[in-house]
Amino acid sequence: MTQSLLTLGYVPGGTPAKWARTWAERHPAIPLTLRAVAAADAAAELRDGTVDVALLRLPTDTSGLAVIPLYEETTVAVVPADHLLSAADEITAADLDGEPVLLPLDDVVAWPESPGSSIDHRPETTQDAIELVAAGIGALIVPQSLARLYHRKDLTYRPIADAPTCVVALAFPEGPPSTLVEEFTGIVRGRKPGSSRGQGAQPAPKRSAREKTLAKQAARAAAGKVASKPGRVERGRR
């Protein structure tokens, strides 16, 4: 392998640690650098070469990128620990009817007809929105990994049974991937050490039927998100 290192970008809530460990075991002489990136910047950092490969969420602008959907995240509602919704193990969209809901500018849940009454003020980040949930301003709808990342003792979260899931994907620039990107992709997809495809650059890996289905779902969600409903004035809590 001629490339001396590999840089992996990952969005908040992304969990690349297990793949990083496997990489270190198989390629101890080639550093894998982990770089935290904002969800809105992940694709751009791939295009400009800041990172070689990225763990990101769909839908996002993936023009010029090869994308391999990996898994779907459960969507949850974050509320104060003493909130009425905390009494249930799982809720539905109907349970949020009339509930003030925060929509941060870095929102990653593609739900055009999301429930609740959208608050006019849009916090800049999900982390900022978490602070407002703790202050009793409203609920927050996020992927479960973000609820865990920003967990506080005074907050809790509940899965929303009929909410769309959030697709997490691996992405890298279009065209034949570098040897190291090809090797890392193989690790993510569970390829065993003995089944390496060799040292030369290889064509982009073919996607499985499930990966193609996830990609189509993400594309439809992206189209719907563009036409999402405008914010509404906050209404009182139930």
In order, the DSSP letters of the chain are -----EEEEE-TT---HHHHHHHHHH-TTS-EEEEE--TTTHHHHHHTTS-SEEEEEESS--TTEEEEEEEEEPEEEEEETTSGGGGSSSB-GGGGTT-EEE--TT-----TT-SSEE-S---SSHHHHHHHHHTTS-EEEEEHHHHHHT--TTEEEEEBTTSPPEEEEEEEESSSPPHHHHHHHHHHTT--GGG---SS--PPPPPPHHHHHHHHHHHHHHHHHHTPPPP-------
Q: Tell me if 214 is assigned to some domain.
A: no
Counting as low any pLDDT under 70, the low residues of the chain are 1-3, 194-238
pLDDT of residue 191: 87
Number of domains in the chain: 2
The domain in which residue 89 lies consists of 75-164
CA-to-CA separations, 226 to 183, 190, 205, 223, in angstroms, rounded: 35, 35, 30, 6
Question: Is 152 part of a structural domain of the chain?
Answer: yes
Same structural domain, 54 and 171: yes
187 and 172 within one domain: yes
CA dihedral of 67, 68, 72, 78, whole degrees rounded to 10: -40
Looking at the fold, whether 133 and 91 belong to one and the same domain comes out as yes
100 plus 135 within the same structural domain = yes
Looking at the domain assignment, is residue 136 inside a domain? yes
Question: Do 34 and 151 belong to one domain?
Answer: no
**In terms of domains, do 172 and 202 share one?**
yes
| Judgement on whether residues 159 and 82 belong to the same structural domain of the protein | yes
Q: Would residue 215 count as lying in a domain?
A: no
Asked, for residue 234, whether it belongs to a domain, the answer is no
CATH code, domain with 144: 3.40.190.10
Do 160 and 170 belong together in one domain? no
pLDDT given for residue 203 in this prediction:
43
Considering the domain architecture, whether residues 100 and 136 belong to the same structural domain is answered as yes
Q: Do 161 and 91 contact (CB within 8 A), yes or no?
A: yes
Convert the pLDDT of each residue in 91-141 to its tens digit.
999 999 999 999 999 999 989 889 999 999 999 999 999 999 999 999 999
Final residue belonging to a domain, choices 134, 164, 194: 164
